[in-house]
Amino acid sequence: MQPKFIFITGGVSSSLGKGVTVAALGALLECRGYRVTMQKMDPYINIDAGTMSPFQHGEVYVTEDGAETDLDLGYYERFTKYTKITRANSVTTGQIYYEVIQRERRGDYLGRTVQVIPHITNEIKRRILNLTKEQELDFVIVEIGGTVGDIESVPFLEAIRQMRRERGRENVCFIHLTLVPTIGGAGEAKTKPTQHSVKELMTYGIQPDVLVCRSSKTLTEEMKDKLSLFCNVKKENIISAVDIQTSIYEIPEMYKNEKLDEVILQHFQMTSKDINFEKWEYILNVIRNPEKKVKIAIVGKYIALNDAYRSIYESLIHGGIANKVEVEFIKIDPEKLEKEGNIEIFRETQAHGILVPGGFGNRGIEGKLLAIQYARVNQIPYFGICLGMQLAVIEFARNVIGWKTANSTEFDPKAEYPVISLLEEQLGIVEKGGTMRLGAYPCIIKENTKAFQEYKKTKITERHRHRFEFTIQYKQEFENRGMIISGISPDGQLVEIIELKDHPWFIGVQFHPEFQSKPIEPHPLFEGFIKEAKKYSENHE
């Protein structure tokens, strides 16, 4: 059976939650036993998200095969159990034009004039269909980034219009996600913006089959009648997407109650398989009825924007689900910490654990080092990720070994003790995009260590995104003073995990474990970190 294609567009406003809608629909179809994949079409001209500022675009999500992608792909993987996201699942205008221009330069078009139609649209369709060649699938769900009416999205809309023409209505479904705003003191919801958005979409030759309407309260029958009449969409295909109250993980349940997955199956005239929603019900029960609250201090320079550390926050929540606790985030600005030196903030805010995430550049570094020192000295559970591990190494070198000038060559190229430095193959690299150690790499874990206690195995694979590494020549000095190198690359040259001997839970990892955590399968390190933070909170009540 050929796979069915579901295309999701957005209208009226950006940031309505297309990515989470795609992920939730994928989760529901997977709960019914279908094989699903998801793809993001980003209309920006960047080749990928790797060089974008986290303040503007949120975090960069890294796939197994080392693609730097939009954070929506993180939702796709987190919400589903079997969907594997690769670079093929992330498409940008930049990639499309780059590929077409490369072909034109090679002469592949045999002297023809290269145009948006058919060459750009054909390349977009090729990227969609390629997903179906690599695996057996029932559904391909494609998110078209941006908002209908944006000039950048036009080639993508034209490509999906052609897909329906070529594959038939019975194999293609169009979902349009829009906003139904509530205006004024009377609290009256307005359907007019959605009507205009659908009208705009129809100028591109696309008639939506399903309308998903974001609103502050459930759509009334009268409003559904009105939308059905003016948007030419069956009333039963108009879905209320009400603002959630507690957790993003309520969204699959909301769409299940609204019968979004059933509407899709009816569109394709497919027999509905029974849904197995037990795992999601368990997750929601824990989220709504936690045994207690655990406070985690996150010391990162991008804390002003929630999406900058999206996978970190979600993975901490997953760790909370595994331990039946609610996780509260205490966001601490390292620059402010550096400037004011108020290290007692961790005691004042009653932090039960401290996490320093990844990042680049030297802004706020001394503040992060103060936080790490506080966690080490006061025996507070500490989790350092990427830069958070590198700084734990620097802090240990300065304050335990006694090398006061220890540093990373990222911050001081002439450091007397360059305990963190560039690999030889990274020297001389000028281009920024895609030039780091990216994607999945193996790691060997020492037995009888905290890392082994959490993973319960000696060989793991984790995703990376960094340039700088632990300088291996200093390994013996660190081990002599009580640092345990508990995870290392198979060739013994790259330090992947460090921990401290005389500390209840102090782990730093060179990789990004947050990219492999799911609510139904929390990552072992986040589960262990929250478990230890919970224990710390009970001992300090």
To the nearest 10°, the Cα dihedral for 8, 12, 14, 17?
A: -50
The CA-atom distances, in angstroms, between 415 and each of 332, 411, 421, 469 are: 28, 9, 10, 15
Q: How far is CA 488 from the centre of its chain?
A: 26
> Do residues 423 and 441 lie in contact, with contact meaning Cβ atoms separated by under 8 Å?
no
Can you state the angle between helices 310-322 and 278-288, rounded to 10 degrees?
90
| Catalytic residue of the set 123, 314, 496, 514 | 514
**Residue 512 is a catalytic residue:** yes
> Do residues 77 and 152 lie in contact, with contact meaning Cβ atoms separated by under 8 Å?
no
Closest CA to 212 of 173, 248, 240, 231: 240
- One-letter amino acid at 35 equals R
Residue 438: which H helix or E strand, with range?
strand 437-445
| Catalytic residue of the set 31, 213, 231, 386 | 386
**Residue 514 is a catalytic residue:** yes
> Do residues 123 and 95 lie in contact, with contact meaning Cβ atoms separated by under 8 Å?
no
> Do residues 450 and 486 lie in contact, with contact meaning Cβ atoms separated by under 8 Å?
yes
| Catalytic residue of the set 57, 318, 352, 512 | 512
DSSP structure class, residue 481: T
Q: How far is CA 325 from the centre of its chain?
A: 22
> Do residues 340 and 369 lie in contact, with contact meaning Cβ atoms separated by under 8 Å?
no
SS3 category, 121: helix
Q: How many residues make up the chain in this entry?
A: 541
To the nearest 10°, the Cα dihedral for 285, 286, 290, 294?
A: -150
**Residue 267 is a catalytic residue:** no
Distance CA 38, CA 461 (A): 23
The Cβ-side half-sphere exposure at 46, using a 13 Å CA radius, reads 16
SS3 category, 428: coil
Closest CA to 522 of 251, 279, 355: 279
Sort strands 325-332 and 292-299 into parallel, antiparallel or unpaired. parallel
Distance CA 65, CA 434 (A): 12
Residues marked as catalytic: 386, 512, 514
